[in-house]
Each structure stands twice: as structure tokens, then as C-alpha cells.
């Protein structure tokens, strides 16, 4: 069995202070994909860099306290791909790929456009480039798993207040249509939705810090594991961990009938 966890930490130092690493040790995951590290090398403790039983790999943002992705892996990869090869994107630390034979595991963090027009423009630029990269990955005759915060709720069932969010970043028609193309035209599979096609409230992975969103479960499903069809077909079960809060996101775990 292959167990993979995706977790936006909203700051690795903050999440660790809230018990993320002791929880992680009990999960026996093969891969742990991290987003929003909000840290650089100098900020990382030895335990953050290499938790017990794991090798740690990271793609930090150049800006301090911002973005950044990482991957904890039980086994060392044959190859590491850090970044997408686009200076503006890679400066924000948004893509990290570990290669194992015929399998790639990727931690990805798409931009948020909620802070203003300039960031929505940057998000669209990322999406335009990333679509081509996703097409290349889909056509590479390999199995690929992309884990992370995509900052897009795909369908109406993926957020509580969908009617009032149709003009807000994360649920804009253009963003949703782009994600539909990723699935329908490129053939990628939303693993959670494959297993739970109609689940609503239990599916949320992020809650705003405003208004009692967590207490009232006014959430969004914006964290995904998205896979090539053969790998997605081997997904056995999935869970979203909410018993403890390490961040404003909840970790998403999927078990696959797969061996690295």
C-alpha cells in the first residue's frame, strides 16, 4: 500500500508548534506533500528538515515568510525537479517533484488571487503555463500524483457558500473551467471525487479565519490529490483529518494499492 498525505501548513514553524510532527509520525505515510512553508533554510530545525524516518526536500520562496513547498519521503528519489523553469514562478517556491522509476510525486501550490487584481493576474499566468506542463506530464507515459493546494474549488459541492462566492477568487468561472479542462481534456483524475462523488461538508479542507468559519464548517475543498488514471484507479480510501488543527487547512490522506 502507498499512503500519501497533502497538507498546507500555513507556516511550517507554526504547524510544528501545534503538534504536526508527532501526528505525522503516527500516520506511517510514504509521502507527505507540504505547501506554504513560509520559511527558508535558516528557519528550519533538524526535525523539520528530516523528521524521523523521512528524507526532506524543499523548494523555498525567495521572499521571506512566504509560500514554499516541500516533500517528506520514506525513500530517496532517483531525481528531484525543483521548480517549473519559469523565473517568476520559481521565485515563489511552488513546485517540487520527486521521481521514482515510473512514478512521480509532486507537491504543488497554486497562487491565490484573493489579495488583489495583480495576484489574480499572476494566478492566471501560472495556470496558463501549468496547463502545458500538465499536458506534458499526462503524455509522458508515466504515473504521476500531484498533491497540493490548488486554490480553486471546482464544483458547487466543493464549498459551503457557492452562490455568494461566484465573483471571488477561488471560485471564478474561468478558474473552474480551467480545472474542468485539466480533468476532461487532459485526463487527470480528482482522486477524492473518484471515491466520494457527492460528498459536501465532509470534503472541505480549508476554512477562513474570519467569522466562525471553522466552528460552522463554512469551508472550501481546495486541497487535492490529482493523479494519472491508472494510479487514481488504485485509490482505496481517503480521509481529511480534523481532530487537531495544525493550520487553516486540514491534511488530506489517500491510500493507494501501489508500491514504489
**How many helices (H) does the chain have, and how many strands (E)?**
8, 14
Active-site residue identified among 30, 95, 149, 224: 149
| Total count of residues recorded for the chain | 260
Which ranges of 40-116 does DSSP label H, i.e. alpha helix?
46-49, 87-90
At CA 221, angle to CA 100 and CA 182, rounded to 5? 55
DSSP string, 123-174: HHHHHHHHHHHHHHHHTSSSEEEEEEE-S---SGGGBTTTGGGTTSTTS-HH
Residue reference for cell 511552488: 94
Pull the grid cell for residue 241. 483529518
Active-site residue identified among 72, 109, 204, 224: 109
Catalytic status, residue 141: no
Measured in degrees and rounded to the nearest 5, phi and psi for residue 106 equal: -125, 135
Catalytic status, residue 158: no
Distances (CA, A) of 223 to 43, 87, 136, 238, 250: 25, 25, 22, 13, 9
Pull the grid cell for residue 157. 459541492
Q: Which of the residues are catalytic?
A: 109, 149
Amino acid at each position: 500500500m502507498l499512503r500519501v498525505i497533502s497538507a498546507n501548513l500555513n507556516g511550517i514553524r507554526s504547524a510544528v508548534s501545534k503538534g504536526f510532527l508527532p501526528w505525522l509520525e503516527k500516520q506511517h505515510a510514504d509521502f507527505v506533500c507540504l505547501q506554504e512553508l513560509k520559511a527558508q533554510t535558516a528557519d528550519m530545525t533538524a526535525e523539520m528538515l528530516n523528521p524521523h524516518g523521512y528524507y526532506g526536500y524543499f523548494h523555498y520562496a525567495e521572499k521571506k515568510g512566504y509560500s514554499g513547498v516541500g516533500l517528506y519521503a520514506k525513500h530517496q528519489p532517483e531525481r528531484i525537479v525543483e521548480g517549473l523553469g519559469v523565473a517568476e514562478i520559481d521565485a515563489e517556491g511552488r513546485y517540487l517533484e520527486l521521481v521514482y522509476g515510473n512514478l512521480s510525486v509532486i507537491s504543488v501550490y497554486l497562487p491565490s488571487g484573493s489579495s488583489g487584481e495583480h495576484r489574480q493576474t499572476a494566478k492566471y499566468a501560472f495556470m496558463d503555463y501549468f496547463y502545458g506542463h500538465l499536458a506534458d506530464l499526462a503524455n509522458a507515459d508515466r504515473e504521476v500524483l500531484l498533491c497540493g493546494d490548488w486554490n480553486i474549488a471546482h464544483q458547487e459541492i466543493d464549498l459551503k457558500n457557492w452562490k455568494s462566492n461566484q465573483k471571488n477568487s477561488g471560485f471564478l468561472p474561468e478558474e473552474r473551467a480551467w480545472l474542468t479542462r485539466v480533468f476532461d481534456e487532459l485526463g487527470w483524475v480528482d482522486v477524492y471525487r473518484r471515491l466520494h462523488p457527492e460528498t459536501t461538508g465532509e470534503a472541505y479542507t480549508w476554512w477562513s479565519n474570519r467569522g466562525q468559519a471553522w466552528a460552522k464548517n463554512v469551508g472550501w475543498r481546495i486541497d487535492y490529490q490529482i493523479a494519472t488514471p491508472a494510479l487514481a484507479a488504485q485509490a482505496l480510501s481517503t480521509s481529511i483529518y480534523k481532530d487537531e488543527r495544525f493550520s487553516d487547512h486540514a491534511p488530506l490522506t489517500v491510500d493507494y494499492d501501489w508500491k514504489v
